[in-house]
Structure 1
Amino acid sequence: MTLTHEQPEMTPSEVADDHKLRSQFMQRLIADAEHSLCTGDAPTPPRVLVQFWDDADSVPSDVQACLDSWTPLESSGFKRLLFDDLSAAQFIKKNFGVRHVRAFERCSHPAMRADYFRLCFIMKVGGVYIDADDSYQGGRIEELISDSCLKIQPLCYDLATGSMVDPVSSAKTKDSEGRIFYVNNNPLIAPPGHPVIERALESATSQLLSSDKNSRDIQSLTGPGNLTMCLVLHALGARQANSKFDFKLIPDWNSFATTEWPLAYRSDHRNWRHWVRGYE
């Protein structure tokens, strides 16, 4: 794929491994998202809503309120599941191999374990993964499982202001210098065995097993950075094969859910942002 007329043809790996080129490619995907066709011949995702909190017996009341906000989905036939460290480890041991068990054990922070577990669960079972600190806003989630395409949320971070900005309008702006385009790993909506999830799980597993156990690079090891890299590799491969995409970007995710920021746990080490920066 050629990103600009001035650049030589580059391999998918060269694009995905380069932070700037990866962001540029994601910008184009986001800008063209409304015109992109999404097809897939796999089964549709099951009506399963899965979430994670490291200790299911000690969920803070404000986080529990977020979890409870999803109760209305039960009337639409969704089964709601909450996993924690113990039940997630049991799930991985039952459904995956020793490498995956060891990789999960090397996740040093609850956020990393949530990242890794969601890949395992969606890979094996499929369904809808939502972070525990997201509150349901009433959108029709069933519309997002009406086909077999992976659904993920695009994001854009503005370095100058240190804040998130609208990804769609930013992607369509010619001057995007100083902005990073990528995808979130929340939500993850897919049928079991989706190739992007499979690639992201293998990448996270390999990186966790080969990296320093004390590494705090959550984004690249298990989070949005890892998923974005794998999505770019997958999309470039599809374009080279002249195939239609089997994933869809959902820029209006805020109409379905809102991340609640004033939660008590965000002020201590349970907040991965504090942990990454060494704030204990």
Structure 2
Amino acid sequence: MNTEQSHKEDPLTKKERNRSNFVREFVQSYNEPDYILKIYEAEIPKLIVHFWDDLTQLPQDVNECIESWKILEQSGFDFQIFDEDSAREFIKTHLGYRFENAFNLCYHPSMKSDYFRYSYIFVMGGFYIDADDVYHGTSIDHFFADGRLKLQPFCYDIESDQMVSSSDFVPLGADKWSWIFYFNTTPLIASRNHPIVGRVLLNATEALEKNQKEELPEVQATTGPGILTESILEVIAKEEHPEETMLILHDWEKISTSKWPLSYRNDKRNWRLSNQQAYQTSQQT
């Protein structure tokens, strides 16, 4: 805890602060490994996967985001887009009843998309990107050359209620008492059976099962960046060279950004407006 923070009450629990500090130190001191571990030598399938819970009500502005990636077909990429029904069928077929039931316990489309991406990438490997992310045209071929997990680091400032630019939080030593460091769930790029993806899938499953008789669980902590970051910590915290397991995408915004504003962000399809609330599927497009 730095001097600035010592004069203020920490808004995070001790566990949350330790997790944030781990991510900060890992991200800011990251260096590419000298070699790739044998288990990650296999290339990742050049497959881009999207999810939208109801494709009959896909907003035009979201579809434009999805279409921005199609230029990569010229570079040999394939595309798949799943809705709630096809995602459930995939999980049922490849993972079984327990995981299908966990998917059904996801009460909001954002949770379903989180849970599905962990399921799909664990089973098949590939590249999952949110449907509202826009591709800017920079090559992504190098992310598929080895099977390590590739993730984008994020930093949120509680005091200003805003995201912190990567150019501000990535430099070594950058920190404020109000900053929370974590990993985003998009993009999610990895080889099949990656141990971190397997861990977050199991942790999300257990979290959903635990909460099914209580109030609706918090989205971020149950299927989102909170449980993803916690799972990463569980897998690599004691590793001497965690960079051998995952690659930090320090400047992902050069490749893709989440588009704001979009029509769906103004209604209950935006998880921030539906967090821990019953979700109605009939929404305006």
Same topology, TM > 0.5: yes
Using the alignment, how far apart are the partners of 1:34 and 1:101 within structure 2? 38
Contact 1:128–1:188, Cα closer than 8 Å, also in 2? yes
- After TM superposition, the structure 1 = structure 2 runs for residues 129-208 of structure 1, keeping only pairs within 5 Å, are 129-167=128-166, 169-171=168-170, 172-173=172-173, 175-208=175-208
Aligned-residue offset at 1:228: 0.3
Contact 1:159–1:178, Cα closer than 8 Å, also in 2? yes
Deviations 1:30-70 (A, max 9, x none): 11124555733232110100000001222111111011111
Contact 2:155–2:182, Cα closer than 8 Å, also in 1? yes
Using the alignment, how far apart are the partners of 1:157 and 1:115 within structure 2? 20
Q: Which stretches in structure 1 are left out of the alignment for 5+ residues?
A: 5-15
Which residue is 2:98 aligned to? 99
Aligned-residue offset at 1:173: 3.5
Which residue is 1:64 aligned to? 63
Which residue is 1:236 aligned to? 237
Which residue is 2:222 aligned to? 221
Deviations 1:96-120 (A, max 9, x none): 0211011000000000000000000
Which residue is 1:88 aligned to? 87
SS at match of 2:57: coil
1:141 partner amino acid: I
Deviations 1:170-228 (A, max 9, x none): 25335421100000010000010000000000000111111146424111110100110
RMSD of aligned C-alpha atoms?
A: 2.2
SS at match of 2:237: helix
Which residue is 1:23 aligned to? 20
Aligned-residue offset at 1:279: 10
Contact 1:115–1:222, Cα closer than 8 Å, also in 2? yes
Structure 1 pair 168–23 and aligned structure 2 pair: CA distance change class (3 A): farther
Q: Which stretches in structure 2 are left out of the alignment for 5+ residues?
A: 3-12, 280-285
1:247 aligns with 2:246: yes
2:208 partner amino acid: L
Contact 1:235–1:245, Cα closer than 8 Å, also in 2? no
Using the alignment, how far apart are the partners of 1:278 and 1:262 within structure 2? 23
Structure 1 pair 107–243 and aligned structure 2 pair: CA distance change class (3 A): closer
Aligned-residue offset at 1:230: 0.8
Instruction: Provide the aligned length of Structure 1 versus Structure 2.
Output: 265
Aligned-residue offset at 1:142: 1.1
What TM-score does the superposition give when structure 1 sets the normalisation length? 0.88
Which residue is 2:7 aligned to? none
Of 33, 37, 56, which residue of structure 2 is paired with 1:40? 37
Aligned-residue offset at 1:261: 1.3
Using the alignment, how far apart are the partners of 1:205 and 1:277 within structure 2? 17
Aligned-residue offset at 1:17: 8.2
Aligned-residue offset at 1:243: 6.8
Using the alignment, how far apart are the partners of 2:89 and 2:278 within structure 1? 31
1:215 partner amino acid: L
Aligned-residue offset at 1:249: 0.7
Aligned-residue offset at 1:168: 5.5
Deviations 1:242-280 (A, max 9, x none): 676210110111111111111111000000011117598
Which residue is 2:8 aligned to? none
What TM-score does the superposition give when structure 2 sets the normalisation length? 0.87
1:273 partner amino acid: R
